[in-house]
Amino acid sequence: MSTDKPTGADTYNATIERIESVADGLSIFFIRPDAPIPGRQPGHYVSIALVGPDGNKLIRRPYSLSRSLGPAIDPDLLELLIIRVPEGDLTPILFEQGEGGRLFVRPKMLGTYLLPDLDPEMTMILASTGTGVAPHMTMLEACVNTCKQVLMMECVRYGAELAYAEQIREFRKTHPNLVYISLVTREGGPKRYIQDYFRDGILEKEYGVTIRPENTHVFACGNPAMIGIPKKARKTGHLSYETPGGLVEILTARYGLSIHKARQPGQIHFEKYW
Ligand SMILES: Cc1cc2nc3c(=O)[nH]c(=O)nc-3n(C[C@H](O)[C@H](O)[C@H](O)COP(=O)(O)OP(=O)(O)OC[C@H]3O[C@@H](n4cnc5c(N)ncnc54)[C@H](O)[C@@H]3O)c2cc1C
């Protein structure tokens, strides 16, 4: 009889099929689960895990599904855009893996950061920082094919981190209802953040966008400071903001949009990464 104890690695059920390096410490991982995971919708995330330094326990983290634009999409392959967090627990181990490496993927599509029913009168704004562009890549095609106007806004530290910029610019050529705004904060020049475009009315003035609760949805993904998630007082319902000047505050105060909840549909949708 074998005395080998099962370890976390015994649960591995997926293979890293391909890795595309985007920039230093930023890669796209294409992962093939041994059995396809059903029920995928734009905006979903998956939970992946690798065995940690103790050689036994699994370290799990959630990652949004992404999607390169192009003709040949394999519906069973999971595409993840991941940045290495040097002080992190999982990503340094993940970035040591090569193509062919095995890992655990929870066989379930997860999350509520999902598109509403789309209609042709809609303006859809997809705003992200860093790797937060990933879920918007899975939403882009459906939005552009139905909505009147789609704004893809992303903010990164260095231009090299705009993983999908070339694809989006190419896609724009055949989809004139798509506006692409990419912002880079650490390469000199004036710094502009996504929030500035809403706070200072730049979208209205320079892009002719009207933001109204009747026809506009805003998706915000990535850094919690960009989103500015409020706390709601239990008794009064009053919203207070730990990080003032975030998107949620501007969109509610200036434009009258409200936060989307399952039981109370609104127009502001967000996914914070930490
Ligand atoms: C729903 C959801 C989806 C996510 N999707 C993605 C994704 O598509 N791509 C991705 O790279 N990450 C994504 N994340 C973050 C991811 O789950 C991990 O937190 C991240 O990879 C760090 O893991 P770690 O174990 O290396 O670091 P940890 O030991 O967990 O350290 C976490 C710290 O790292 C920092 N951090 C976390 N995520 C990021 C990030 N993306 N960029 C910069 N700093 C970060 C924060 O300061 C955080 O406190 C997502 C998180 C959530 C909740």
Q: Are residues 141 and 260 in the same domain?
A: yes
Pocket of ligand 1 (CB under 6 A): 45, 61-64, 80-83, 85, 88-91, 130-131, 134, 271, 273-274
Amino acid 190: pLDDT: 84
Nearest CA residue ID for atom 42, ligand 1: 83
Atom of ligand 1 nearest to the CA of 91: 26
pLDDT tens figures, 241-260: 988 999 999 999 999 999 99
Q: Tell me the residue range of the domain where 19 lies.
A: 8-105
Sheet holding 178-184: strands in order across? 178-184, 149-156, 123-129, 216-222, 268-272
pTM for this entry = 0.96
Amino acid 80: pLDDT: 98
Amino acid 90: pLDDT: 98
Nearest CA residue ID for atom 37, ligand 1: 274
Q: Are residues 156 and 257 in the same domain?
A: yes
pLDDT tens figures, 85-139: 999 999 999 999 999 999 999 999 999 999 999 999 999 999 999 999 999 999 9
Q: Are residues 68 and 130 in the same domain?
A: no
The reply to whether 217 falls in a domain is yes
Phi and psi at residue 207, in whole multiples of 5°?
A: -120, 0
Neighbours of 1 (CB within 10 A): 2
The reply to whether 25 falls in a domain is yes
Atom of ligand 1 nearest to the CA of 94: 26
Q: 2: CA distance to ligand 1 center in Å?
A: 38
Which portions of the chain are predicted below pLDDT 70?
Answer: 1-3
Which residues, at least 6 apart from 273, have a Cβ–Cβ distance to it below 8 Å? 130, 131, 132, 221, 222, 223, 224
